[in-house]
């Protein structure tokens, strides 16, 4: 009998501190940098984001999301036999945030590792977990996206510091005799690594390079819209489905313009798109599971519906997952 994987629970967590566009505007003004709520909303659709406290890490945020996902699935930590954390802002160089989260969760023994594909990270991690479950290597996986992007922002660059936020989302993915994950499609092209990156590192106890986010916004936009459509169509083709079969599009919440353009190319009305970017900002690998959990808990997303998840991020990486909830 073939083994499939299905999402049985979702969870998310946002740090308490909510930062509005007006808050960002006031902070930048103290350094003589101009911006406005209207400027940010018009270009990005973002109105607010959440920033973690200085002593809060990605594993802390991921832990809260994981607990909620486990509760929703009716599972306990000792039943988890695989933990994958998608993050670009790990707690430390090593060990992985997944291993640290595993201990905080009260689990032990099962494999735990991080996946680094930036804003495509959750789609990558979900695909890896699905593959491991299909081989029989795992039966109950925690797949988490968690980020503290506020730590790597240049608050003197108004074009990037207004975009990102912190948060975490998680799903419980379990073995099933009924298909849940229907198809996926993953890609990367390293020749575009310079258009979205944090070109810094630690060497000999010193910071080498520039440890804050750099982005060529126009280049990212142009590339993102094209590759997202191709990944979406490739995933649908693998499942023998068309855009008409999609109940909900859950894209990476980077920019409302990218989301609108992708929906338009797939002939989907925005009423079929889960949108959280206005309140969360871009939370990188956390954005898709955050949006998924929001859709589930708000009652928009219902069991049995077909969901298309798609992400694009630094690397350049991109991909999509089609699933039935």
Strand 196-197, strand 214-215: pairing? antiparallel
Which of 155, 167, 153 has its CA nearest to residue 281?
167
- Distance, in Å, from the CA atom of 235 to the CA atom of 240, rounded to the nearest integer, reads 9
At a CB cut-off of 8 Å and minimum separation 6, what does 298 contact? none
- Residues 21, 47 contacting (CB under 8 angstroms): yes
Q: Quote the CA–CA distance of 234 and 117 in Å, as a whole number.
A: 20
Peptide bond into 50 cis (omega under 30): no
Q: Give me the helix-helix angle, 256-265 and 217-239, nearest 10°.
A: 40
A 10 A CB-CB count for 261 gives 17
Residues annotated as catalytic are: 119, 252, 282
| Cα separation, 219 vs 242, whole angstroms | 29
Which helix (H) or strand (E) is 130 found in, with range? helix 121-135
* CB-based burial label for 67 (10 Å; 0-12, 13-18, 19+): middle
* Cα–Cα dist 12/76, whole Å: 17
DSSP state of 273: B
């Amino acid at each position: 009998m073939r083994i499939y994987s299905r999402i049985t629970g979702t969870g998310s967590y946002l740090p308490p501190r909510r930062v509005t566009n007006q808050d960002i505007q006031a902070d930048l003004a103290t350094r003589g940098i101009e911006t406005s709520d209207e400027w940010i909303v018009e270009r990005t659709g973002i109105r607010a984001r959440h920033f973690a406290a200085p002593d809060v890490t990605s594993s802390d945020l991921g832990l809260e999301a994981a607990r909620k996902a486990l509760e929703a699935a009716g599972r306990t930590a000792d039943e988890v036999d695989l933990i994958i954390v998608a993050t670009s802002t790990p707690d430390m160089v090593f060990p992985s945030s997944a291993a640290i989260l595993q201990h905080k969760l009260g689990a032990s023994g099962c494999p735990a590792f991080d996946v680094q594909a930036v804003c495509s990270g959750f789609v990558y991690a979900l695909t890896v977990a699905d593959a491991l479950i299909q081989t029989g290597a795992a039966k109950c996986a925690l797949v988490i996206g968690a980020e503290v992007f506020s730590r790597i922002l240049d608050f003197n660059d108004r074009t990037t510091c207004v975009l990102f936020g912190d948060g975490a989302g998680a799903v419980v993915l379990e073995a099933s005799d009924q298909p849940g994950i229907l198809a996926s499609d993953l890609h990367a092209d390293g020749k575009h690594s310079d258009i979205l990156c944090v070109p810094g590192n630690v060497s000999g106890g010193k910071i080498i390079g520039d440890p804050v986010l750099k982005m060529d916004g126009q280049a990212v936009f142009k590339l993102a819209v094209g590759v997202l459509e191709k990944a979406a169509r490739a995933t649908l083709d693998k499942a023998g489905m068309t855009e008409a079969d999609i109940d909900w599009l859950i894209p990476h919440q980077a920019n409302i313009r990218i989301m609108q353009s992708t929906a338009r190319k797939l002939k989907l009305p925005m009423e079929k798109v889960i949108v959280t970017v206005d309140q969360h900002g871009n939370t990188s690998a956390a954005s898709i599971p955050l949006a998924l959990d929001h859709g589930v808990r708000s009652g928009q997303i219902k069991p049995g519906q077909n969901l298309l998840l798609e992400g694009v991020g630094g690397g350049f990486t991109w991909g999509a997952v089609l699933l039935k909830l």
